[in-house]
Amino acid sequence: MWRDRGDVASLNLLYGAGGKEHEPGGKFTFVQEDKEGTAPKFEVVDEQGVTWKVKLGEETKSETAASRLVWAAGYFTDEDYYLAEMRVEKMPKLDRGRKLVSDEGVIRGVRLERIITGQKKNGNWSWFKNPFVGTKEMNGLRIMMALINNWDLKEINNAVYSQPGEGVRYVVADLGATFGETGNPVIRSKSNPDDYSDSHFIQKVTPEHVDFYLSSRPLFITAIDVSNYATRTHMQDVVKEIPVADAKWLGKLLEALTDEQIRDRLMNTKTSREACEVLLQDALDAGGLDNITIIVGRTAPMPASENA
């Protein structure tokens, strides 16, 4: 579930778990559509024979950003990358998300997950019943879910992977429902910086425990679906009663991530620098003291005709 990353301040948050060496590029060819989950997805293969799972829609930026932060804290994540634009050869009409793909097979704003050769999914794991319950590493992961406002903590989003030479890994495999507002289906959001910045983090502190904010209870009128209502309500307990000592452990680990490191890692152009400076100052003005995380998204340039 967790591995000591060593010098956290030296980690490259631009590329995350896969590093620059696994960065997707070149030509992509369509393989098949993936109809699991709620977001449109399909698989492609690149020129090197690497298979990628492409996700479309509003989760692409939030999931990539969340995977970087969770990985930096020492937890295993998928190798996710964000591309402002990609073109896919032999692209058919999708059953889901077809409006997001041009007739030429061009898609903007996508998340690519690298399919690791030899890795096998053995099943799912529960937040409340797993081999790590009660450990500081498990409690740290619970805090991370509160930190990124992950309101979709269903068991189906947690995967147990095995890989020759790597052993078994417990991973939160879907981090898309993050960086927005938690709550019922009417108010919750994802990949919404305004909602995220307005949300609360710590709910209650006692001498022994810390409760973090996470609202996932459905509207009462939906209680007719008893199973869903109970499951969603129980999710709130994932971030409750965290031992103070474990919260301090994670905080000490993350404090090595400096403002300068995150700003430099996510900055390639003048526009990105300006955005980082503005966001950093806004965070400081709002009361931030250290370890302020800045997430910058890049949009594809408009065609010359549109600029005109």
Domain of 205?
120-258
Question: Are residues 40 and 69 located together in one domain of the fold?
Answer: yes
How confident is the model over 83-112, as a mean pLDDT?
Answer: 92
Q: At residue 132, does pLDDT exceed 50?
A: yes
CA 128/CA 139 separation, integer angstroms? 11
Whether residues 287 and 242 fall in one domain: no
The residues near 295 (Cβ < 8 Å, ≥ 6 apart) are 61, 65, 179, 193, 266
HSE-CB of 31 using CA atoms within 13 angstroms: 17
Asked which of 114, 131, 149 is the last residue of a domain, the reply is 114
Please tell me the predicted confidence (pLDDT) of residue 271: 43
Q: For residues 281 and 290, give the distance between their C-alpha atoms in angstroms, rounded to a whole number.
A: 12
Q: CA–CA separation, 266 vs 262, rounded Å?
A: 6
Domain identity same for 238 and 124: yes
Asked if 139 and 228 sit in the same domain, the reply is yes
- Residue 295 binned pLDDT confidence (cut-offs 50, 70, 90): low
Task: Select from 298, 57, 62 the least CA-distant residue to 190.
Answer: 62
Which tens digit of pLDDT belongs to each residue from 10-37?
888 888 899 999 999 899 999 999 998 8
Cα gap 128→142, rounded to integer Å: 11
**Which range has highest mean pLDDT (248-252, 272-276, 296-300)?**
248-252
Q: Which amino acid is at 3?
A: R
CATH number, residue 73:
3.30.200
Q: What is the pLDDT of residue 264?
A: 46
Nearest to 216 by CA among 198, 192, 232, 199: 232
Residues 134 and 202 in one domain: yes
23 and 101 housed in the same domain: yes
Do 83 and 174 fall into the same domain? no
Q: What is the mean pLDDT of residues 158-163?
A: 95
Q: What is the mean pLDDT of residues 169-181?
A: 95
